[in-house]
Chain A
C-alpha cells in the first residue's frame, strides 16, 4: 500500500515536472509565483530571527524601561507566558508561522488590538494617500519629461532634466516642514493635520508625490530621449509627422513600457515616504503605525507590518513579471521558443 501511494506521488511529481519542462509559460509562472512566496516566507522568518538575536529580552520591552528592575521572578514568568516567550524558539516560530498563515499575527503589545485589525483600519487611509500621490507624481513626471523633450532651448532642457534628481535628494521631512510653514502656518490655506475633508489631503499628497515623481521622471526623460533617436522616429518624421505627433503617438507609448519595471522602486518610495508624511502630518495610516511600532518595538505589530510590505512588494513584482510578456512581444516570443525570458526580470 505505501508503495502504491509513493508511486502515485512519484507519477504526479513526474507529470508536474514534465509540464513545467515542456511548457515554458508554466515554468515561467511557477518560477515567478514561487519566488514571491519565498520572499514573503523569508521576510517572516528573518523578522522572527531578528527578534531573537535582538539585544533586548522581549519581556523587557513590555514594561516601562525605568521599572525593568522590578519585573523579576514570577512576574517575569507570567509576562513571558502571556506572550508565549517562554516556549522554545522553534516552537514559537512554528506556532507564529501557523497563525500567520491564517492572517493572525497576534495582538499589539502596546494597545492589545489584533495586528490584523490595526493594519486593516489604517491601510485604506494609506492607500488613498498613496494612490493620490502616485497620480500626482505621474502627472509631474510626464509633464517634466514631455517638457524636457519637447523644448528646443538647451538651458530649459538642462534645468528640467536636473529637477528629478533634486526631487529625489530633498528629504521628504524637509519638504513636509517647508510646505507646512508656507501653506499651513503662514497663509493658512490648508490645515496642518487632521483627516477630515479634501483640504487635509493636499499637503500630505504633495509631500509624498515629490520624491516619488523623481525616479519616474528620470526614467521617462531617458527613454524619451532614446526613443526619439530611434530609427522608427526618423521614418515617422520622413513620413511628415509633426514633433507633437511623434511625441504623443510614438515616443510616449514606447517609452512608457520601461516605467513598469520601476514599479517596485516607486512602491518602496511610497512606503518610505508615507512613514514620514503620516508622522509629520499626524495622519492615520500604515506608515505612522510602522513608526510607532518600531519606536516602541511592538514586536507582533512590527512583524505584521513588515510581512505586509514584503507581500505587497512581492505581489507588485509578480504582477510586473506577469504583465511584461503581455506588453513586450519580444519576451512573448522568447517564452514561446522556450528560451530564458531575459528582459523580464531586469
Chain B
C-alpha cells in the first residue's frame, strides 16, 4: 500500500480534482448527518424546565412536592408489571398498581387492600373476596369484580392473540378461574388446596398480580410498551418509559385507597419519581455522591461503609422468602451420600463468610427460609447448620473418604468433587461461594463454583443432577409455602429429587401440607416438619446467607417503604426542603 508511486505524472494530476470533490462531498454528508442527529438528540424534552423542584415550604414533618431521583441497577424491561421479571420491574409495578391484599412486612400477616375481606372453603380451593367500592383506575374506569376476573384470567392463561405470555401461571398453580359473584365480589378457584394463594394475592415481586384497567388488558404486548397505555390504580401514573435509560412516574392526586394497615392514607407526597437505570456500580455510587440522584438501590457491599461514613443513610431489608440456599442433589454422586451432604453443612465457617462477603445489611442463613418468614426455625447454634469441621471430617471418614495426594479426599479412586451451579443475582453471591470453597478445601472437599450467565444458567437448570451436584439461588416470597414451590418434587424440585430417593414420598407429603391450612398454629407445625426434613433429616439444604436489598440515600430523603418482599413503595416518601 505504501510502495512508491511510479505512475506517469499526468494520471495523478487528473485524479486530484476529483479526489478533492469527493472529500468535500463526504465531509458535507458527515456534517449534515451529525448536525441533524445533534438536533434530534438535543431537542428539548417537553417538560424539561418543569423538573426544577418546586417544593412547598415546611418547617418540620413531611414536605409535599418535589422530584425524587432514584438510581437502580436493572433495566425496566416493560411498563406492564405483570410481564416484568426484574427487580426494577417489580418496584415500579408496585407504585403504579395495587394488589388485592397487603402483607404486613413485620408480622407477615395478610391484611386488606383492594379486597376489604375474604373467606375460603374448608379445603382451601376457593377464595371469595369482597372488593372496595371506591377504587378507580387513572383513566377513570372503576375497579370491580369484572376487572379482577379479566386480570387474573389473562395473568395466568396469557393471551396469544395479544402476544401476552401466561406470566402468572407459575405463581398461581392450579388456577381454575374467577367467578364474578356480584359487582364487587369475586370467587377464585383452584384444582388443589392453595393456602399459599392468599399471600400470592399480595405478591409484590417479579411478575406481580397488579391490577390493570380493562383498556390495558385489551392492548397487545407491543402496545403496552407505550407507558400511557398501561393504566393502574396505584399512587403514581406512568409518564415516560425509555427502555434501558429511565422511567418517569407522576403522582395521582386523587389516590385514596392505600392499605388500611399503613398509618397514612391519601396521595403521595412526591410529584414525580425518575428511575434512572445505572448498570455500573461505581456510577451509581458516584451519582449519589455528586447529587445527581437522591438515592440508589443495589449498593455494592464495599461501598456501604464509605457511603455511611460520608453521611449517607444505608437502609436495608431482607428479601424475605427462601434463604440464599445451596441445594445438594441426592440423585448425583457424591452428594447421594448423606454424610457428604452433612459434611458440607458443617464444614464451613459462617463468620468468615460474613467477614469476606457480607455487610451489616445481610444476616446469616439459619434455615431453608429467612428469619422474617412466619414458621422459620433456627438450625444454627448447636443445630445441623453450625461450624464443626471435626465432625464433618469424621462423617467423611465414616463413609470411607480418605485424604488423597492433593488434600482432596478420595474413595474408590474418585475425588470428592462437588460441581455447583448458580447465577449472580444478588451482590454477595460469588464472594460467599468462594469463602465456602476455601473452608471446604480444608476438610478435603473440592467445591467447584460455576456462576453462569442467564442463558447458560437456564440450560444448567434443565440438566440439573445429570451434570451438577449443587444449586445456589433464592426466591423472594414471604410465605412458608415457598418451600413447597421450591422443593416439592412435583413442582420446582429444587434439589432434583427423583422417585428413587428414600425421602421422596416423605417430602411430597410434608411439603404439600403447607398449602393445606391457613391456621397459624397448624402452619407453624407443618413448617417445622418440612424444615426438619430439608435441613436435618435429609440434609438437602445448606443456608448460605439471607439476601437483602440495600438502599443508600441522601440525608434529606425520608420514608422509603420496604414491603414484605423488600420491594419499595414511594407513596410516603418525601424530600426535606434543602
Interface residues of A (CB under 8 A from B): 54-57, 60-71, 75, 78-79, 81-82, 107, 110-114, 118, 121-122, 124-125, 127-128, 131-132, 135, 177, 180-181, 184-185, 188, 191-198, 201, 222-223, 226-227, 230-232, 253-254, 258, 261, 279-284, 288-289, 291-292, 295-297, 323, 326-330, 333, 343, 346
B221-261 contacts to A, CB under 8 A, are 221-222, 224-225, 242-245
Q: Does B180 interact with chain A (Cβ within 8 Å)? A: no
Cβ of B41 and Cβ of A195 under 8 Å apart? yes
A184 CB, min distance to chain B CBs, angstroms: 6
A282-B170 in contact (CB<8A): no
Report yes or no: B34 in contact with A61, Cβ–Cβ below 8 A: no
- Interchain CA distance A132-B171 in the complex, whole Å: 48
Q: Which of A107, A226, A283, A297 contacts B221 (CB 8 A)?
A: A107
| B 284-313 to A, binary, CB cutoff 8 A, 1 in contact else 0 | 001101101000000000000000000000
Q: Is the CB of B494 within 8 A of A69?
A: yes
A310 to B475, CA, bound (A): 40
Across-interface contacts of A258 in B (CB, < 8 A): 1-2
Contact B30 A112 (CB under 8 A): no
Q: How far, in angstroms, from A322 to B221 measured CA to CA in the complex?
A: 44
Q: Which residues of A contact B22 (CB under 8 A)?
A: 323, 326-327
Measured in the bound complex, the distance between the Cα atoms of B283 and A180 in whole Å is 8
A-B CB proximity, top 5 nearest: A112-B221, A128-B37, A55-B459, A70-B170, A69-B492
Bound state CA distance, A68 and B85, in angstroms?
13
Question: Would you give the shortest CB distance from A228 to chain B, in whole angstroms?
Answer: 11
Please name the residue on chain B nearest to A298 by beta carbon: B77
For the complex, what is the distance from the CA of A194 to the CA of B245, rounded to whole Å? 8
Segment at the interface with A among B161-169, B501-509, B512-520, B540-548: B161-169
Are A64 and B207 neighbours in the complex by a CB distance under 8 Å? yes
CB contacts (< 8 Å) of B221 on chain A: these are: 107, 111-112
Q: Cα distance A282–B88 when bound, in Å?
A: 15
Chain A residues with Cβ under 8 A from B475's Cβ? Answer: 66
**Quick one: which of B83, B158, B458 has the most chain A CB within 10 A?**
B458
Q: Could you say which residues of chain B place their CB within 8 Å of the CB of A281?
A: 283
CA A8 to CA B165, docked complex, whole Å: 53
A197 in contact with B163 given A177-B282, A180-B283 (CB within 8 Å): no
Interface size on B, residues (CB 8 A): 79
**B residues near A, CB below 8 A?**
1-2, 4-5, 7, 11-12, 14-16, 18-19, 22, 30, 33-34, 37-38, 40-42, 44-45, 48, 75, 77-78, 80, 83, 85, 158, 160, 163, 165-166, 169-171, 173, 206-207, 220-222, 224-225, 242-245, 276-280, 282-283, 286-287, 289-290, 292, 423, 453-459, 461-462, 473, 475, 485, 491-494
Is the Cβ of A295 less than 8 Å from the Cβ of B454? Answer: yes
Q: Among the listed B19, B38, B454, B456, which residue makes an inter-chain contact with A128, where contact means beta carbons less than 8 Å apart?
A: B38
In the bound complex, residues from chain B placing their C-beta under 8 Å from that of A63 are 85, 165, 170
Asked whether A196 and B48 contact (CB < 8 A) given A131-B37, A180-B286, A282-B245, the answer is yes
Chain A's closest residue to B6 (CB) is A231
A326 near B163 with CB under 8 A, answer no
With A107-B221, A282-B277, A292-B75: A82-B15 Cβ-Cβ less than 8 Å = no
Q: 29 A-B residue contacts at CB 8 Å? A: A55-B459, A63-B170, A64-B85, A65-B423, A75-B169, A79-B166, A82-B163, A111-B243, A112-B83, A113-B243, A114-B222, A122-B243, A128-B40, A131-B34, A131-B37, A180-B283, A191-B292, A192-B283, A192-B287, A195-B41, A230-B4, A230-B5, A254-B5, A284-B242, A284-B244, A292-B75, A295-B454, A329-B11, A329-B12
Tell whether, in the assembled complex, residue B18 and residue A326 are in contact, meaning their CB atoms are under 8 Å apart.
yes
- Chain B residue at smallest Cβ distance from A192: B287
Q: Is the CB of A282 within 8 A of B456?
A: no
Cα A227 to Cα B5 with chains together (Å) = 10
